[in-house]
Amino acid sequence: MQHQKIFILLPDGIGLKNFAFTNFHKIGSEKGFDITFWNATPFNLETLGFNEIKIDKPKTHPLTDFYKKAQIQIELNLNIKRAKNKIYDSYRFPFSKRNLKEVIKVGIVYWIIFWNNSSKGINRIKNKIKLHERKTKLYFDSLATLQEEKPTVVFCTNQRITSAVSSILAAQDLGIPTATFIFSWDNLPKGTKIIETDFYFVWSEHMKKELQYYYPYINENQIFITGTPQFEPHFDEQFIVSMETFFKEYCLDLSKKYICFSGDDVTTSPNDPQYLLDVAKAVEKLNLKGENLGVIFRRCPVDFSSRYDTVLEEYKDIIVSINPKWKNIGDTWNAILPTKEDLILQMNTIFYSEFVINLGSSMVFDFVSFKKPCAFINYDVVNKEFPNWSVRKIYNFVHFRSMPTKDSVIWLNSPEEIESIIESLLNSNETKIVHDAQKWFDIINQHPPENASERIWNAIDSILKK
């Protein structure tokens, strides 16, 4: 294993949290791997003491984006036929048609879909993407880098980014084994697997079955069940600061108990400000009855909107907003990157909160890692800007079918229930909810969760021995 050079391809910032800010690099180094991050993000990994080779402003072929958009739509069409279920339509986002240029682009995508709306058509599209990406400067630059560095494996941290296709193709054309990581628990039903690699790393047996269901051409021996490193830090107590330190830094009241309200992005939950308001009102009533409660509001890291401002100002005596420590280090949307400081902030927010309230987010697994329950918001409110949005759309998503029992979370079915449910959670030992949430976590992510990086490196070692 000594001196085996491994390239960790970071096509965007998503991989930073999982593979740069955890013990992933440390464990690989201890095992004797020579690790280089092939880094397309603006983040400077040398500040962490890591070897990196920069991919400067990676650019795909002009036609690739058209084919990618068409591929996703056809994948969803095929999923509907395969499952005989229209739920996959809910994963579609409307195409932008703000001007003539965008209307023409949408027309091209629909034309591609019309002529390729089948399994054979998907293969034609994939071959077109490969054909065009092999003509790009990025492909030839990747070839040159790989020929010079001679890595033994290229591991991509994200399966859906088109700018990684050229680099993966270059590795495959040179006979270098390639692998990719399915980075989120809800990705596979969405038809967003754009990267075609020799091996796939998944969170769980459940995700392995999903991968084989949606992509039956992938053989079992190409799949490794590893878990995800994103939960690993939750089991490392060194990141937990003292209560006095945390409360002082974020102006929290040591005499209060805090509930965490975890926000979503505006597309997932456009009604979040109203939900936060409903929680604040319930807490206000409980405080009048003798409780001493506050709310920690953690917004979605990429939501910089002002939509919460009115609620935060009106209930500033109850709500403390602790913004995620993500950094904007560029001039594009994907230059908003996570930081290791935010990982520590998230952990301490969980540790010093009683439980979390949100709309269907994976924070349920973050909190159950600390043996704490989660309450899912499950009611609609009137919103003229989003008249067709409903919580039903969220909870009908395929990934929620993995929930072994509805008791894995507490359901907030109306604003009127929030007060009594908060009171119940504070004054009773909700071991059953936590126990059932843990069962769900066991299904979603290979356990023990703190050993994910170890399993990933063992899988990479297995690839080298094939």
Amino acid present at 270: P
Q: State residue 23 phi and psi, 5-degree precision.
A: -85, 10
Q: What is the 3-state secondary structure (H, E, C) of the chain?
A: CCCCEEEEEECCCHHHHHHHCCCHHHHHHHCCCEEEEEECCCCCHHHHCCCEEECCCCCCCCCHHHHHHHHHHHHHHHHHHHHCCHHHHHHCCCCCCCCHHHHHHHHHHHHHHHHHCCHHHHHHHHHHHHHHHCCCHHHHHHHHHHHHHCCCEEEECCCCCHHHHHHHHHHHHCCCCEEEECCCCCCHHHCCCCCCCCEEEECCHHHHHHHHHHCCCCCHHHEEECCCHHHHHHHCHHHCCCHHHHHHHCCCCCCCEEEEEECCCCCCCCCHHHHHHHHHHHHHHHHHCCCCEEEEEECCCCCCCCCCHHHHHHCCCCEEECCCCCEECCCCHHHEECCHHHHHHHHHHHHCCCCEEECCCCHHHHHHCCCCCEEEECCCCCCCCCCCCCHHHHHCCHHHHHCCCHHHCEEECCHHHHHHHHHHHHHCCCHHHHHHHHHHHHHHCCCCHHHHHHHHHHHHHHHHHC
Q: Shortest CA distance to 351 belongs to which of 335, 370, 334, 368?
A: 370
Q: Give the per-residue pLDDT at 307.
A: 96
For the stretch 303-322, what's the b/e string if a residue is b when 16 or more beta carbons lie within 10 angstroms of its beta carbon? beeebbeebbeebeebbbbb
Tokens of 154: 């290229």
Domain boundaries, the chain: 5-60+136-228+449-465, 64-130, 233-444
0.85 exceeded by pTM: yes
pLDDT at 1: 47
Q: pLDDT at position 331, please? A: 53
The pLDDT assigned to 302 comes to: 86
The backbone torsions φ and ψ at residue 377, rounded to the nearest 5 degrees and listed phi first, read -70, 135
Residue ranges of the chain with per-residue pLDDT less than 50? 1, 333
Q: What is the pLDDT of residue 454?
A: 98
For residues 245 and 290, what is the distance between their CA atoms, to the nearest angstrom?
26
d(CA 399, CA 396): 8
Give the mean pLDDT of the chain. 95
Pick the CATH number of 233-444 from 3.40.50.620, 3.90.580.10, 3.40.50.300, 3.40.50.2000: 3.40.50.2000
Could you tell me the CATH superfamily of domain 5-60+136-228+449-465? Answer: Glycogen Phosphorylase B; (3.40.50.2000)
